[in-house]
Amino acid sequence: MIALDTNVVVRFLVDDDKAQSAKASKLIKRAITQNQSLFISDIVLCETIWVLKRLYKFKKEPIIGVMRQLLRAGHLAFVDEDRIARALDSFENGKGDFADYLIAQHASSAGFTQVATFDKNLLKEEMFVAP
């Protein structure tokens, strides 16, 4: 099984570099035809969302839609799809970045009930507390 780096996922999604985008698409199509899974880590998801939002100026709604499509893609594997889906739901409705909500989901999965942060927007949300 092959794991994808952020730049491969972004090239596939944005198609901004014809040569690299074609290689990314070819890799993904090959995995589909050979019935192989490609792994996308939580870190790659965080970086991909950050790049799409900050560098490419995509709005939150289309980013969330694309991330949900990736989660449903049968040829992609993730550490914990449910945890990612919960983080996406929080990201959709909250003021923080996706990474903030994924951190909170990881903490919750590990048995922790709060995340200490200096982010004033997050302090208005249930799981986040001031240090």
Which of 112, 113, 111, 116 is closest to 100 using CA atoms?
A: 116
**Alpha-carbon gap, residue 10 to 21, rounded angstroms:** 8
Residue 100, token pair as written in the block: 């903030």
Q: Phi first, then psi: what are they for 2, rounded to 5°? A: -105, 135
pLDDT for residue 61: 97
Q: For residue 1, what pLDDT is reported?
A: 84
Residue 128, C-beta contacts closer than 8 angstroms, at least 6 positions apart: 96, 100, 104, 114, 115, 116, 117, 119, 122
- pLDDT single digits (tens) 62-114: 999 999 999 999 999 999 999 999 999 999 999 999 999 999 999 999 999 99
Prediction pTM value = 0.93
